[in-house]
Chains A and B, each alone.
Chain A
Amino acid sequence: MSELKRTVLYNAHVAAGATMVDFGGWEMPIQYPSGIVAEHLYTRKCCGIFDVSHMGRLLIEGPDRTRFLQHVLTSNVQSLELNKAQYCIIPNENGGAVDDAYLYQFEEERYLLVVNASNTDKDLAWLAPIVKDYDCRIRNITGETISIAVQGPESGKMLAKLAGVEEVTKPARNNLSILDMEGHQVWVARTGYTGEPIGYEIFLKNEDADWAWKRLLELGARPAGLGARDTLRMEAMLPLYGDEMGIDEEGKEMPIFGLALARFAVSFDEAKGEFIGREALAKQAAAQTAFREKRGTEADLAALPRRVRPIALLDRGVMRHGMDVYYNGEKVGYVTSATMIPYYMTEGEGPDARLLEQTGKRAIGICYIKSDVPTGGQVEVDVRGKRLKAIIPLKHVTNNQPPYVIPVLAK
């Protein structure tokens, strides 16, 4: 067994009383003494900070960098402007996912590709034989840099204060900037994995890690661990490699278009041209559209047998990864991620929405089920031998109107 890796912030986590666990070969905080529920709620109400330095950070440099990435990623890399980021997937020939990733262009002459911690070595091994045919190279800077996710309604104000500016990036998701914060150079991205309409991921040199962590805490942010990161992303229906993409419970490859957000991650633009998995993905995309328009046929089921969907338990109990889902008495799939997730009760809508003091919790999550199960469909989940009633809702939250994530409760 190889030694677990530690991020530069390891000592800060231990000093804060974090429970440390093995995650993708890294010793990471799963929670701090306040607990997952409090960390989740504080992120939704104010600002949680997450050490995400374990994620793989790869620089792609050289004249052919755009052409290479167009071939190995699903997104249209040519359309990515300076100071912008895009979500993408590293596909294989069958239209399955090697990994999902975020591509950032902070600088004209290189790209930053951020990949899952547990997949970094696999991704590098996958890309190595391909990059040989292009005049560009991949530089792994995971060990020299750190990354902190600063997420929640107050996150922008905190970073703006450190930078002495009004707004750290342009005011929409996927905008980037490079800023001086109290004498430290910080790469700021308006991205995140919590569903927060206001949230950032910052990239720094290792030596600036303690400064950034300490200053954000002083400004009122609180540390949040991998446990809250997981409940936040589940509530926002953001997929996790290994659960909602990769290989399913039967050992079959999960098609990328099983994910609703594949529509935004995969480009068939002419400028992109041929890329790995294009043909398979085009078939999946057509089937996904058919199911979304409620006209899926048997042929569409063959191209896209199952899709990743939200699921909400109506009976009392808790769903967990691996539990079977039934529709009209037939097993249609299984729960991929779920637990009991807390939320703030809210008043009003959109920009006028307000979080109340009262909180609730709900047994919700994500499932991977037969593509033709309709939205609003009543299903049953086998919770340790008991069939409990559940529903396939459209979504668990509304998060397109800052500053707050508004829970959508299943009825």
Chain B
Amino acid sequence: MTINPDLKYTKSHEWVKEEDGVAVVGITDFAQDALGDVVFVNLPEAGDEVVAGESFGDVESVKAVSDLVSPVSGIVQAVNEELIDAPEMLNSDPYGAWIIKVEQVNDRETLLDADDYEAFCAEEG
């Protein structure tokens, strides 16, 4: 399992990277591995409001469906529309295939750094 040292993480296995007031959000390698083949992503639309700790969409694998939980509160600036036709990018490149970008960030979940997230994953097995 890979963990990117430059990102922050949630306990629901999303990653987030904040740069110039914009939060980029995706799912972690641990999450994609647990899901298996991702076959569909239900995305919000630009302009939608997201709330830290609440679902902003879902990701479906052959086996199961899993909520996408926003690490931050704000307004969706952009969604990665490549995922509509190629959801498997979340398996092949979890830290490259971002899902949403959030602007006007005004609140955050408790975020873990890479070391703490690694320890958390080890506990979850």
Contacts and interface: CB of A to CB of B under 8 A. Distances in A.
B113 interface: no
B36 A361 contact: no
B interface residue count range (under 10 / 10 to 19 / 20 to 34 / 35 or more): 10 to 19
A340 B39 contact: yes
Contact of A227 (B36, B88, B91): B36
Contact of B62 (A37, A317, A384): A37
Contacts of B88: 37
Contacts of B60: 318, 340
A35 B90 CA distance: 14
Nearest to B40: A318
Interface in B1-58: 36-37, 39-40, 42, 58
A36 B64 CA distance: 12
A339 interface: yes
A318 B36 contact: no
Contacts of A341: 62
A320 B65 contact: yes
A227 B39 contact: no
A36 B62 contact: yes
A363 B39 CA distance: 9
Given A317-B42, A340-B60, A37 B37 contact: yes
Nearest to A21: B63
Contacts of A361: 39
A320 B60 CA distance: 10
Interface in A32-91: 35-38
Nearest to B64: A320
Contact of B36 (A36, A317, A363, A384): A36
A14 to B, nearest CB: 15
Interface in A312-347: 316-318, 320, 339-341
A23 to B, nearest CB: 13
Contacts of A105: none
Contacts of B42: 317
B63 A36 contact: yes
B39 A35 contact: no
A284 interface: no
Interface of A: 30-31, 35-38, 227, 231, 316-318, 320, 339-341, 361, 363, 384
19 contacts: A30-B63, A31-B36, A35-B36, A35-B37, A35-B91, A36-B36, A36-B62, A37-B39, A231-B62, A317-B42, A318-B39, A318-B40, A339-B39, A339-B62, A340-B39, A340-B40, A340-B60, A361-B39, A384-B65
